[in-house]
Amino acid sequence: MSGLVALLDDVAAIAKIAAASIDDVAANALKAGSKAAGAVIDDAAVTPKYVQGFDASRELPIIWRIARGSLINKLLILLPAGLTLSAFAPWLIPPLLILGGAYLCFEGAEKIAHWLFHHEGTHTDAYESGDPAHLEEEKVKGAIKTDFILSAEIMTISLAAIPEGSFGMEAATLAVVAIGITFAVYGSVALIVKADDLGLAMSARGRFGLTRGLGRAIVKAMPMVMKLLLVVGTGAMLWVGGSIIIHGLKDLGWKTPYAMIHDFAVRIAARVPENLHGLVEWSVTAFADGILGLALGLALIPVATKVIAPIWGAIFKK
C-alpha cells in the first residue's frame, strides 16, 4: 500500500512539473507572438486578396490550402532551421532580425508610396480570365511563397523573444507560436472574407427587421474594414520594423538610436500626469520607431527596385 501511495505521489509531482511547463510554454508563446504583431497583422491584411475574383464556394478551400502550406512552412522548415540557428549560431539572430525588420519597413513604405503615386488597376474575375483551377493553383502557390517570407519573420522574431531555456522548451514554444498564429491569422481571414456573404444572407433571409438591417450594415462596412485593416497593417509593419532594427543595432553594440528615442520619450512623458507616463512613453517610442521605419523603407525602395530586383530576375529568369 505504501508503494502505491509513493507511486501516486510521484505521478502527482510529475503532473505538477508538466503543468508548470505547459504554463511556461503558453506564457513564452504569448510573449513571443506579441513581438511579431507587425508581421502577423500584415499577413492577415495581405491574404484576403488571394481569393478575390473567385467564386464564393472556393474562398474557404483556398484559405485552407494556404493555411496548410503556412503550417508546413513554419513547422517543417522554419522551426528546425530556427532551433538549429539558436543552438549553433545565435550570433546570427540579431543580423537576421535587422534584415527582417528592414523588409517590414520596405513593405510598409512601398504600400504608402503606392497609395500616394499609383492607382489601383481594374479588377478581373478569375473565372473570366482563364482556367479557374489553374489560376487557383497559381494563386495558392504565390500566397504560400509570400507566407514563407512573413512566417520567417514571425518565427525569427518569436525565437529572439523566447527566454533562454532547454531545447524542448524552445521547440514547444515555437510550435505553439506557429500553430496559434497560423490559426489566428487564417481564421480571421476566413471570417473577414465570408463576412459579406453572412451580411447578404442576413439582409435577404432575416426574420426580423433588426437582423436584416444588421446584415446590410455588415455589407456596407466591409470595404471600410478592409481599408482599415490595410492601414493598421501598414502602420504596424513600420512600427515593428523600426523597433526591430533599433533593438537589433543595440544588441550589436550601437546603442545611440535606442538611447535617443528612449530619452526623448521619457522627456515627453514627464510633461503629462504620472498615471499616463507609461502610455505616453510607449506611444512616443512607437511613433518614433514608425517614423524611422518609414524613412528607412523609403530609402530601400530604389535599392530593391533598381538593384535587388534585377539581380533576382537575372538569377531566377523572372
Residues 189-226 have pLDDT tens digits of 888 878 877 888 888 877 777 888 888 888 888 888 87
pLDDT tens digits, 243-285: 889 988 988 889 999 999 999 999 999 888 888 888 899 899 9
Distance CA 250, CA 257 (A): 8
Distance CA 90, CA 143 (A): 30
Distance CA 132, CA 202 (A): 29
More confident residue, 53 or 5: 53
| pLDDT band (50, 70, 90) for residue 72 | very high
- Do 159 and 92 touch, CB atoms closer than 8 A? no
Distance CA 292, CA 254 (A): 16
- Do 269 and 315 touch, CB atoms closer than 8 A? no
Burial grade of 23 (CB within 10 A; 0-12, 13-18, 19 or more): exposed
Q: Please give the model's pTM, rounded to 2 decimal places.
A: 0.69
Helix (H) or strand (E) holding 103: helix 93-117
Distance CA 303, CA 276 (A): 41
- Do 53 and 130 touch, CB atoms closer than 8 A? no
DSSP annotation of 51: G
Confidence (pLDDT) at 17: 38
- Do 254 and 265 touch, CB atoms closer than 8 A? no
DSSP annotation of 78: I
Domain residue limits, the chain: 2-223
Confidence (pLDDT) at 47: 63
pLDDT tens digits, 86-130: 888 888 888 888 888 888 889 889 889 888 886 554 444 444 455
